[in-house]
């Protein structure tokens, strides 16, 4: 048997009986080579030409055409080589060149890049100047009780609304609960809560203020906390009315809730920060004011402050009694009195004292004991204001009594 005929016979037997799959090691080596040698993407005609060129086919002479073994071996070899070339090209196209893989072909799962988180900027404070209109609403729980020379009124309900030109977040109807302690001269302390329900969220919180003698000018301050679309924001405001609370001039700010809210169930010493706004104290029917040489002595005045504190337990209305010894010669003063901060689930009651120095700086300290849900706790506060500041700064602690 001639050498070439023997080769053809062996090749024919190998193709008919030999392995149908390449060894795992060879496949792994081929894939590794493809991945480490990226190619530029080729069109199907170019890929076909490259596969044909890589086979280096030998021309077939006429005497070889009729040889069945050689014809079959050559044809099968060509098909095998072409198939390998095409599969390799598909791997290159699908993995190295970015092309679409052939259906059914094994393709490594694509790993989507993790998107970079976009930080949410904090909401910027929005200063607001507007008006508010209020009217009486039915209130079956309203009571009026004479106390000494004055009157205690509880359970008043008002409905109020900002104009359409106000900030869109304030649109809606407000329900206002009102309590009033009226003195004989028709001055008063007023306080309560307010809830404004809008289309996208709500505002709710306390307010407090005073009324000038003759039940004339009302001045109040409030702090409402947002929910729904307004969660994380608070609406802080002051407002003045010259017509017994029917129409108001309002100035305030929608701003982020101060940081430092205590965690739910927190125990031990909780530090408190914030600000305080106080309206003018009124002497009223129970107070007195006399001049004693260089000193003006005020006793039994009353008023209200608004606490904007980081802890909601001490945030809200603060009712005060006020005593003062003020020197006309240098403008200094000594102050003291009692205070009460009523809350939704408890009350703080205590005393306070402070000074006004000759430069106009204020320093006040106070201690309150909790009752109700705050029983067993003590609130120690410090309030200060420099002569050029517009509101008091507040620091303090809430801690177990003793």
Give the pLDDT of residue 78.
44
pLDDT, tens digit (0-9, with 9 covering 90-100), for 206-216: 787 888 888 88
Give the pLDDT of residue 99.
45
d(CA 342, CA 201): 26
pLDDT, tens digit (0-9, with 9 covering 90-100), for 391-402: 789 999 999 987
Confidence of residue 365 (pLDDT cuts 50, 70, 90): very high
What is the pTM (predicted TM-score) of this model?
Answer: 0.52
Give the pLDDT of residue 397.
93
Confidence of residue 304 (pLDDT cuts 50, 70, 90): confident
Average pLDDT over residues 250-259: 83
Give the pLDDT of residue 15.
55
Give the pLDDT of residue 49.
41
pLDDT, tens digit (0-9, with 9 covering 90-100), for 195-238: 999 989 999 887 878 888 888 888 888 888 899 999 989 898 88
Give the pLDDT of residue 196.
94
d(CA 372, CA 347): 6
Mean pLDDT of the residues in the chain: 74
Give the pLDDT of residue 65.
41
Give the pLDDT of residue 379.
94
d(CA 210, CA 222): 12
Confidence of residue 131 (pLDDT cuts 50, 70, 90): very high
Domains and CATH numbers, the chain: 3-96 (no CATH), 124-257 (2.40.350.10), 259-402 (2.40.350)
């Amino acid at each position: 048997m001639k050498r070439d005929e023997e080769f053809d016979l062996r090749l024919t037997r190998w193709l008919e009986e030999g392995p149908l799959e390449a060894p795992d090691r060879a496949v792994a080596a081929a894939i590794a080579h493809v991945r480490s040698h990226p190619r530029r993407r080729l069109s199907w005609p170019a890929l076909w030409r490259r596969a044909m060129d890589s086979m280096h086919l030998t021309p077939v002479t006429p005497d070889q055409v009729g040889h069945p073994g050689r014809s079959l071996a050559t044809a099968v070899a060509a098909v095998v080589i072409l198939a390998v070339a095409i599969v390799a090209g598909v791997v290159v196209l699908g993995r190295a060149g970015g092309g679409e893989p052939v259906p059914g072909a094994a393709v490594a799962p694509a790993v989507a890049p993790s998107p970079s988180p976009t930080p949410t900027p904090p909401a910027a404070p929005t200063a607001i100047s507007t008006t508010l209109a209020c009217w009486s609403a039915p209130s079956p729980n309203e009571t009026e009780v004479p106390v000494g020379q004055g009157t205690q009124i509880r359970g008043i309900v008002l409905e109020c609304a900002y104009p359409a030109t106000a900030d869109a977040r304030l649109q809606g109807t407000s329900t206002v609960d009102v309590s009033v302690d009226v003195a004989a001269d028709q001055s008063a302390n007023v306080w309560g809560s307010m809830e404004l329900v809008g289309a996208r969220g709500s505002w709710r919180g306390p307010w407090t203020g005073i009324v000038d003698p003759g039940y004339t000018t009302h001045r109040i301050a409030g702090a409402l906390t947002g929910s729904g679309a307004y969660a994380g924001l608070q609406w802080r405001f002051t407002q003045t009315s010259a017509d017994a609370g029917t129409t108001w001039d309002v100035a305030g700010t929608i701003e982020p809730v101060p940081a430092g809210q205590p965690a739910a169930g927190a125990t031990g010493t909780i530090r408190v920060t914030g600000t305080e706004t106080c309206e003018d104290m009124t002497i009223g029917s129970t107070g007195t004011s006399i001049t004693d040489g260089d000193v003006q002595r005020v006793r039994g005045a009353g008023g209200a402050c608004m606490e904007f504190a980081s802890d909601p337990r001490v945030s809200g209305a603060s009712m005060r009694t006020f005593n003062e010894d003020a020197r006309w010669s240098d403008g200094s003063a000594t102050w003291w009195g009692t205070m009460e901060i009523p809350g939704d689930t408890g009350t703080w009651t205590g005393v306070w004292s402070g000074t006004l120095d000759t430069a106009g700086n204020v320093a006040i300290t106070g201690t309150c004991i909790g009752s109700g849900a705050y029983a067993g706790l003590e609130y120690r506060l410090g309030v200060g204001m420099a002569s050029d500041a517009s509101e008091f700064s507040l620091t303090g602690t809430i801690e177990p009594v003793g």
